[in-house]
Each structure stands twice: as structure tokens, then as C-alpha cells.
Amino acid sequence: MFAAAIFDMDGLLIDSERPIMAAWIDVARTLGIELSHSQYMQVVGLATAESEQILASLLGGPDAYSHAVDLVRQRLQLERSDGTPLFPIKPGAAEILAALRERGTRCAVASSSTSVQIQSCLGSLGVLDHFSAFAGGDEVVRAKPDPALYLLAAERLGVDPAECIAFEDSENGAKAALAAGLRVVVVPDLKHPPESIVERAFHVLDSLHDALAHLPRWFPQPARNAQSA
């Protein structure tokens, strides 16, 4: 039914949103600023420029934000000083990537993170080889919800966007994939998608584990069977 799968990374393949949020709230507190969970949630799923603007406002200005960014980076690195990956892989991610590879389905990443960050994160988790193409936020002019990242990922796979399923956790990511012409499977992380996204989604699942049961229908022809037919 579909020829390829394109995955978001943060909050979908890797559990990055929670430790990053915890670091921001903790750093703000050390600076004498009460940054609440609900306040931080305003930036979840936004493009970098938008999230920076909101956080700068919440923290007291650009200088305070710049100082906090440095402290957040230091805090996150210290939490993984034992050599383990900075962000753990999400439940079901390794399994679905292995299952798609077994079926001969080509996969790509379309993430607002930079290309270097994508390859570093996925390489540290041992799943980088499951992907045939990557599209990073540093390679496009406009971030999600603009469709540019998904269009670039599909182009690099050599597949029509209409023949791809996008796996996304955020509203802006789902909007980007839909605008690019992909079907979207939403796997919410910190935020549940609004009804407007749910209505347009191909499926909404609780976890990537739940997607495994759908693979025979979504990607029905393993490559080895196609070759032997």
C-alpha cells in the first residue's frame, strides 16, 4: 500500500522532550525563575526560532535565555557522563525499524534537529543503518509546519510523497507531513494532537509498538518476495 516510511526524531524515535523540559525547568529555578510545566509546554512542537522567542520572554530577555541555554546544555551532558546515550530510544522504535528493514521498506528521517544531531543521536542508539535518507532542519529554509523537510526526505528516498507514511508526535510535524502530501500516523508524546489533526490523521497510536500490527497492511510486500515472484 505504501512504499516508504519517514520518521520524525525528537519525541518520536528518541525520548528527548522530557529530559530537555526537566533541564529547562531546573536551570530556570537555579536562576531564580519559576518556569512551570504548563509554561514550558507552550514551546513543545514549535520551530526553534519560535521556542527561543517564547523562552526568552519567560526568562526575562535574550541575555537570560542565552545564559540558560548554556546551562541546559551542560546539565544534559552531565546527566549522561557515564557514556550512555544522551536521549534513550522510545519504546517500539527499534522494533518497528527492524521490522520495516526486514520487509524491505525504505525509511528516512525528517527532523528539525540538524543533520549532525540526527546522525549522532541515531548512531549512538544503534539504529542509524535502518535509514536510507535524512533531512535535517539545517537543510531547509522553513521549519515545520512547512512541508519542506518532508518533501526533501521523500525526494532523497526517490519516492512520491503520496506513497509515504509519516510518523509524527507533534501537531506542527503532522501539519508539515500532511502539507507535503503524506499520510500521517500520529504517536503523541508530551502533547495530544488537537481534534483538527486527529480528524486528518491516517491513524493515532499510543506507541510505536502499536504500529507493528499494522505493518503487513501498510507495507504488504517484503522485498525478498517481490524479487522471487
Task: Please state the pTM of the whole predicted model.
Answer: 0.88
> What is residue 216's three-state secondary structure?
helix
Residue 81, pLDDT above cutoff 60: no
Arithmetic mean of pLDDT, 174-182:
97
pLDDT of residue 222: 56
Q: How many CB atoms lie within 10 A of CB 73?
A: 12
Most confident by average pLDDT, 25-39, 82-96, 147-161, 212-226 = 147-161
Arithmetic mean of pLDDT, 60-87:
83
Report how far apart the first and last C-alpha atoms of the chain are (Å, whole number).
17
pLDDT of residue 225: 41
pLDDT of residue 83: 64
